[in-house]
Amino acid sequence: MPLSTSSSTCRIDWRPSRWLAAALVALGVMAALSLCLSALPLAAKLAGSTLALAEGLRLARGHLAQPPLALDWLGGDEPAYLTGRDGVCRLDGVTVLLRGPLATLAGTDPQGRLRRLGWWPDTLAADGRRQLRLAASVSCRSAKPLRKQAA
């Protein structure tokens, strides 16, 4: 068995996280409860609570409705490519942020918009986080070029 593969491309699938959707609903419920327990007038409590709960549900539903994507990235300064049902999108200036079991990748698409992908523990296992960490640490350009060998 070879120690390395022929391709060092980081390939990771992204899908909406059920944990994030549950957290968004929980935040909506807690916001509604906090408004109910506040000293606001009854009409403001009911309107605000309803709005907070509806917004939490809307955000969770919108997150779960996002299509799955596939990330292909050589790492370092190279562009990343997101493949989904809408085709392939190139991301430049890719950065990765790892905070414990959470991972975030951000980059700029050709229209100049910032695109972010976030992985929660239910959507990215430890080996996927390791792939992202290794790809982010790759330097595509060496600070010291190799010396030419005398013939």
How much is the pLDDT for 19?
96
Nearest-CA neighbor of 33 among 62, 19, 25? 25
pLDDT at 145: 45
Which pLDDT does position 139 carry in this prediction?
57
Res 144 pLDDT > 50? no
Please calculate the CA angle 34-31-68 and round it to the nearest 5 degrees: 165
pLDDT tens, position by position, 62-89: 999 999 999 999 888 889 999 988 889 9
Whole-number pLDDT of residue 140: 52
State pLDDT tens for residues 90-99.
999 999 999 9
What would you measure as the largest C-alpha separation in the chain, in angstroms? Answer: 88
How far out from the chain centre does Cα 146 lie?
36
DSSP state of 85: T
| Two tokens, residue 118 | 């976030």
